[in-house]
Structure 1
Amino acid sequence: MKFFAALLAVALAVGGWLIRPGALHLAGPRTGDATLQKFIDDNYEGPGHRLSVALVDGSSTRFASRGGDEHGSFEIGSISKALTGLLLADAVERGEVTLGQQVGSLLPLQESEVATATLEDLATHHSGLPKISGKPLPAVRSALAAVAGGNPYPYDVDQLLDHARSAGTGGRGEPAYSNLGGALLGQALARKAGKSYPDLLQERVFQPLTMRNSRTPTSDAGAAPDGYGSGGRRQAPWVQEGYGPAGGVVSTAADLALLARALLDGKYVTALAPRRDYEEDRIGLFWMTSPLRDDRSMVWHNGGTGGYRSFIALDLDRRRAVVVLSDVAVDVDDFATKLLEG
């Protein structure tokens, strides 16, 4: 462990000395709705490069983009978990699994602590699993990837299962965000269906909703373009196989607007419904519910990778939804929430 700590310290020092990124500004051209473009001008305050925004309001859907259009590809990070939550709701409806089913009945987790966690535990971040693997090599590899602008989750399904089997679950029953748990749940659903996770998501979510430009890449061939860190440093794509259900999906504003409209119309409603307390909010099958002004609420999920940020939110009462995608690792949550409140 002393060797790993020393290696990480050296990497941080060298990385900080070598990295001299340039400033970022929203790119051209400006495409889409003029009113949304003005909203971006008046309200977007972070560093930018490519930015894509969708507003679903009643029967209308409007887009505005900088540096492309609504069909441009972005890593959506942990919004992937929200899609995994939709797969869980669908699998329950099909009678393939139950929310109270133990994940060890679907995956070879042997006598590990996590084997007895239920699918609902995993989908509500109450399984007790840590955010990422605590094993020395994966932990150091993830830290080094963060310094080098690389991919911290290059693991296959067997490696994911090894991470899960070795992880403790001492905090079960209490909310604790876990990429490891989200990935494990998605792979359990895929194993039950006899498919890979990318194929299962395509078959049960993307194809029915005609989300034609959405995918879960397992190689560089399907990856999004390089993104940027908050200081302007280029970041390599996060291509994920084992951890794909937690953060590996690539999508577009146009496709996520189709998803938002389907959710407003009542599809996958059981995934959105709050089930447990989560800090100051409530959580369904990965989907969060938080208060808005005027006693309203929004159902939402955000996401982030080394070079991207994303946000999708719905005001179910007003039938209004927003999608914001950025290829810079600076949160867009406040900007998106302001657009949703309108």
Structure 2
Amino acid sequence: MTTDRTDQTDRRDRTDRSETALRDRLALEVARLEAPDVVLGVTRRGRRTVVTGGLAPERTTPREALRYELGSLTKTYTVLLLVTLAAEGVLTQDDRLAAHLPPTLRLPHPASRGITLRHLATHTAGLPRIPYDLLPGALLRPSVSGYARYDTGRLLRTFAATRPRHPAGSRWSYSNFGVALLGPALARAAQGTYPALLGTQVLRPLGLTGTTLAPGPTGADAVGYRGDGRTPLPGTDMGAFSAAGAVRATPHDMLGYLEAHLHPAATSLSGPLKEVQVPQLHRGGRRGETHTLAWFQHPAPGGPLLFHAGAVFGQQAFLGYHPASGTGLAAVATRRSRRCPLMPTAYNLLYGLAEEAAA
């Protein structure tokens, strides 16, 4: 009995020392980022470690309780919704996009008619990064989002008028435009709205009560800043591009989302969560990268590392996880500039934790 108690005490001490070392490590990186607001959170072996900091004055709501704009990380939520609806038989991933658009919408380009929902999810539809009619505004007003004035009708009309750059499925090319089209397609297929479907099919089953698509009450959301780190920016209205970039979440909800991917069997979305992690394509030769339905995938010690990043004006976010070691990392910061290297910092942290776990 004494030996058992001693072993338990030793394990507890080792865990506490490991937790302290991790907290110190995260605190050092938070200070190095020199952003107005920073949150770094790690989940591993069933424990969460969250460290916050920043140059801006602390608000009434703690940084780790604020909701941050996730930008392109939204795409992982949208693709999970796609796979969940497919698992329920509402649609299939290889349905033609045209089958879930208004029948009155004419598609004059044959290549457009060959695009499937899977092509949109995997950025292989041949569509440009953003619609061509957004380019003039982006050039003239680079610090102003043009998405807010872009409604679903315009999105669909622009798609109909856009000639894909290459046949669907033949080449990878990152596209906000493509994933945005999943929003109205999924809504029409499931006879609902994209926000409602995401809530009922993904957020609620995973217990993500701190995740939403809309701004919250005053003080609930993080405030982004221009490059000077002082000038506040309004929240980003994504318009018809909600499926590509409108999700907002607290750091703890981000960790909960990662934990669902790390331990799918513990959720009611086990099948879809496993499926979005299955590799779909590889590009760039031996030194290139693999893509699953929803995530970028890189080799790492012990097994692959999956990740995605996102940014809007004044905010940036990163999510990554290493299934082999059960480790996940969530990172957010206000201010998007080269002086705040959140993405490489978060990626290197996660890779280092994976490396240590495999040693």
TM-score (norm 1): 0.82
* 102, 105, 117: which one aligns with 2:96: 102
- Equivalent in the alignment of 1:29: none
Deviations 1:196-218 (A, max 9, x none): 11111111111111211211128
Report the AA paired with residue 176 of structure 2.
Answer: N
CA contact (8 A) 1:70 1:252 kept: yes
What's the CA shift for 1:229? 3.2
| Structure 1 residue aligned with 2:316 | 309
Distance (Å, rounded) in 1 between the aligned partners of 2:26 and 2:136: 39
- In structure 2, relative to structure 1, the CA distance for the partners of 1:115 and 1:316 (3 Å cut) is same
Give the whole-Å Cα distance in 2 for the aligned partners of 1:174 and 1:265: 32
- 3-state SS of the aligned residue for 1:323? strand
Q: Does 1:159 align with 2:154?
A: yes
2:51 to 64, 77, 82: 64
C-alpha separation in 1, matches of 2:155 and 2:303: 39
**Which of 157-166 and 84-93 deviates more?**
157-166
Q: 1:196 aligns with which of 193, 197, 214?
A: 193
How far, CA to CA, are the matches of 2:295 and 2:275 in structure 1? 10
Does residue 288 of structure 1 match 2:324?
no
Cα distance in 2 for partners of 1:145, 1:82 equals 28
1:325 aligns with 2:332: yes
Q: What stretches of structure 2 of length at least 5 have no aligned partner?
A: 1-18, 265-269, 354-359
Instruction: Provide the residue aligned with 2:164 in structure 1.
Output: 169
Separation in structure 2 between the aligned mates of residue 214 and residue 259 of structure 1, nearest angstrom? 10
Contact 1:36 1:63 in 2 (8 A): no
Which residue of 131, 136, 140 maps to 1:140?
Answer: 136
Change (3 A) 1:219 1:179: farther
Distance 1:185 1:112, change over 3 A: farther
Q: 1:87 aligns with which of 81, 90, 98?
A: 81
Are 2:50 and 1:42 equivalent residues in the alignment?
no
Alpha-carbon distance, 1:252 to partner: 1.1
Counterpart secondary structure, 1:120: helix
- Conserved? CA contact 1:86–1:271, under 8 Å: yes
Query: What SS class does the counterpart of residue 51 from structure 2 fall into?
Result: strand
- Shift of residue 119 of structure 1? 0.9
CA spacing shift, 1:276–1:163, aligned 2, 3 Å = same
After superposition, residues 170-189 of structure 1 pair within 5 angstroms as 170-172=165-167, 173-189=170-186
2:128 corresponds to 1:120: no
CA-to-aligned-CA distance 1:140-162 (integer Å, 9 cap, x gap) = 22334423xx3221122112112
Name the TM-score, length of structure 2 as normaliser: 0.79
3-state SS of paired residue (1:146): coil
Q: How many residues align?
A: 305
**Alpha-carbon separation, structure 1, partners of 2:222 and 2:71:** 14
Q: Contact 1:130–1:168 at 8 Å: present in 2 too?
A: no
CA displacement at 1:46 relative to structure 2: 3.2
Partner of 1:257: 255
**3-state SS in 2 of match to 1:195:** coil
Structure 2 residue 297 is matched with structure 1 residue 300: no
Higher mean C-alpha displacement, 222-231 vs 62-71: 222-231
CA displacement at 1:35 relative to structure 2: 4.8
Alpha carbons 1:102, 1:118 under 8 Å: kept: yes
Kept in 1, the 8 Å contact 2:298–2:305? The answer is: yes
SS of the residue 1:191 aligns to: helix
Change (3 A) 1:219 1:143: farther
Which letter maps to 2:281? Answer: R
Q: What amino acid is the match of 1:54? A: G
Greater radius of gyration (CA): 2
Quick one: structure 1 residues 221 and 241, their matched pair in 2 at CA, closer, same or farther if it must change by over 3 Å? Answer: farther
